[in-house]
């Protein structure tokens, strides 16, 4: 597949270089085919595109602004621009994808959305889109995440979604994915599995990237208006599964911008993972010598995932994007620093990207005067309780 342009249509096999594919039980194969066909059809249908654009605009608050972080830029000696996904309805980029998939589910005649969630943002977004379109929602969430992100659990309840606690394994996102897949097998006739990141079997990694592409396309146009050079030197985003990064990168992959994905130190699949197969796709996976998948550890529930979207694995191998890690401590101080210099409370997940920028700018890894676009994937209200103890 190396003759393909990066970040284009991965074809019917869903391969990004060596990665991707459709490693699911036979029971799910027809559903995957059906979804792929429905998505190809919808994506080529101006009526569907219109409906999606309308909802993203009048409902979800797009386009999101590009905010120059003036005081922090001055401190760091760079020009830092923030793509404000935190200002979308429900408070993170997850809504972009979910509105798209929910419209698709409706078009396919499904009456229920299934979803896994880590930080709860994707679960809230799914519950939201379900309510909006009159669908049911069942959200699988690890018990540990339920404790860490109680606020989001309550939000889902108020929105009318059923939240199913997952007690297996590490009781975090990875196990919620397993459980959602199992449930999907059992209810594939009336349920649509609304995957929350650029992962899962084909067509999900591609489809979710396409639904998140709006971030990168808006940002690209905004940078063109804002920056003398039109394109920033760096484009930085955090990586859980990698959807906000993929959506952002998609807008800049054809430019000279350096693309940087930032993972949690304890969930660094792109930097410490080996090739493997998990949750329906082949990618880089954190695993032990025997091939057992390791638990990820991150202060950010949304990054507690031992894999990475297959396209990111490919972008890494290709060298088009690089991937870095930051520690929990760096993340918390980045969060507080942004709050106090710009009045923006970023999600712990998004603060990973910021922590890398701060470190790189302060260590000279980013040259002074550079321009940096950072996707602020979500707001930090959900994290306040967890960082309270760390302040």
Partner 1 sequence: MTLEEFLTARRDAGRALLVPYVTGGVAPGWTDVVRAYADAGADAVEIGLPFSDPMLDGVTIQEASDRAIAGGTTVTRILAELAALDVEVPLFAMTYSNLVFQKSAAAFCAALRASGLRGLIVPDSPLEEVGELAGAAAAEGLDLALMAAPSSSPERLREIAARSRGFVYAVTRMGTTGEDGGISAEAARLGRDLTALTDRPVLFGFGVSDPARAAELARHADGVVVASALMRRLLDGAGPRELGEYVASIRRALDRPLDREPDEQYAPLPRHRRRPDRQDPVGPLPRG
Ligand X SMILES: Cc1ncc(COP(=O)(O)O)c(C=O)c1O
Q: Does residue 101 contact residue 127 with C-beta atoms inside 8 Å?
A: no
Pairing type for strands 19-20 and 15-16 reads antiparallel
Closest separation between CB of residue 118 and ligand X, Å?
5
Is the Cβ of residue 347 or residue 360 nearer to ligand X in the bound state? 347
Closest separation between CB of residue 198 and ligand X, Å?
6
How far the first Cα of the chain sits from its last, in Å, is 48
Which region among 125-133, 261-269, 299-307, 369-377 touches its own copies (by CB under 8 A)? 125-133
Residue 94 annotated among the catalytic residues of the structure: yes
Q: Site size for its own copies, by CB under 8 A?
A: 46
Q: Does 119 bind ligand X (CB under 6 A)?
A: yes
Q: Does 241 bind ligand X (CB under 6 A)?
A: yes
Report the side by side order of strands in the sheet with 162-166. Answer: 162-166, 136-142, 112-117, 191-193
Catalytic residue among 191, 350, 377, 386: 377
Pairing type for strands 112-117 and 274-278 reads unpaired
Pairing type for strands 136-142 and 162-166 reads parallel
Residue 174 annotated among the catalytic residues of the structure: no
**Whole-number Å distance between alpha carbons of 184 and 181:** 5
* Binding characters for ligand X, 358-387, by CB under 6 A (x = yes): -------------------xx---------
Instruction: Give the 3-state secondary structure percentages of the chain, helix then strand then coil, rounded to 5.
Output: 50, 20, 30
Phi, psi for residue 168 in degrees, rounded to 5: -90, 160
Closest separation between CB of residue 72 and its own copies, Å?
10
Closest separation between CB of residue 195 and partner 1, Å?
14
> How many CB atoms are located within 10 Å of the residue 296 CB?
24
> How many CB atoms are located within 10 Å of the residue 166 CB?
24
| DSSP 8-class letter at 298 | -
Q: Does 53 bind its own copies (CB under 8 A)?
A: no
Q: Does 149 bind ligand X (CB under 6 A)?
A: no
Q: Does 126 bind ligand X (CB under 6 A)?
A: no
Pairing type for strands 321-326 and 79-84 reads unpaired
Q: Does 287 bind ligand X (CB under 6 A)?
A: no
* Binding characters for partner 1, 12-41, by CB under 8 A (x = yes): -x-------xxxxxxxxxxx----------
Residue 93's closest CA among 176, 206, 252, 214? Answer: 214
Residue 350 annotated among the catalytic residues of the structure: no
| Catalytic positions, written as ranges | 94, 116, 377
Residues lying near its own copies in the complex (CB under 8 A): 57-59, 61, 64-68, 71, 84, 86-89, 91, 127-132, 134, 151, 154-155, 157-160, 335-336, 339-345, 380-381, 384-385, 387-388, 391
Residues lying near ligand X in the complex (CB under 6 A): 92, 118-119, 121-122, 197, 238-245, 302-303, 347, 349-350, 377-378
């Amino acid at each position: 597949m190396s003759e393909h342009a990066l970040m284009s249509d991965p074809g019917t096999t869903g391969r990004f270089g060596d990665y991707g594919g459709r490693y699911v039980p036979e029971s799910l194969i027809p559903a995957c085919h059906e979804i792929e066909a429905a998505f190809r059809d919808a994506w080529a249908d101006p009526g569907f595109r219109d409906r999606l654009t309308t909802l993203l605009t009048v409902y979800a608050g797009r386009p999101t602004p590009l905010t120059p972080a003036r005081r922090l830029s001055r401190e760091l000696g760079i020009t830092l621009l923030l793509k404000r996904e935190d200002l979308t309805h429900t408070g993170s980029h997850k809504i972009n994808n979910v509105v798209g998939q929910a419209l698709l589910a409706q078009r396919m005649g499904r009456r229920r959305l299934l979803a896994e969630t880590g930080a709860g943002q994707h679960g809230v977004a799914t519950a939201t889109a379900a309510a909006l379109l009159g669908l049911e929602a069942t959200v699988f969430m690890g018990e540990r995440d339920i404790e860490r992100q109680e606020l989001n659990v309550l939000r889902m309840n108020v929105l009318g979604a059923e939240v199913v606690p997952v007690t297996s394994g590490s009781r975090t996102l990875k196990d919620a994915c397993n459980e959602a897949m199992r449930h999907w097998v059992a209810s594939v006739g009336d349920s649509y599995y609304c995957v929350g990141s650029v992962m899962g079997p084909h067509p999900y990694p591609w489809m979710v990237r396409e639904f998140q592409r709006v971030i990168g396309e808006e940002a690209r146009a905004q940078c063109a208006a804002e920056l003398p050079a039109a394109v920033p030197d760096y484009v930085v985003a955090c990586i859980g599964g990698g959807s906000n990064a993929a959506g952002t990168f998609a807008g800049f992959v054809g430019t000279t911008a350096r693309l940087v994905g930032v993972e949690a130190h304890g969930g660094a699949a792109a930097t410490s993972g080996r090739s493997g197969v998990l949750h329906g796709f082949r990618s880089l996976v954190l695993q032990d010598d025997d091939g057992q998948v390791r638990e990820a550890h991150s202060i950010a529930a949304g990054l507690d995932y031992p894999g990475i979207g297959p396209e990111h694995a490919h972008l890494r191998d290709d060298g088009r994007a690089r991937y870095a890690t930051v520690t929990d401590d760096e993340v918390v101080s980045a969060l507080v620093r942004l709050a106090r210099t710009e009045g923006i409370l970023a999600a712990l997940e998004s603060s990973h990207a910021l922590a890398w920028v701060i470190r790189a700018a302060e260590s000279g890894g980013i040259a002074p005067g550079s321009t940096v676009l950072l996707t602020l994937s979500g707001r930090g209200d959900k994290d306040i309780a967890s960082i309270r103890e760390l302040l």
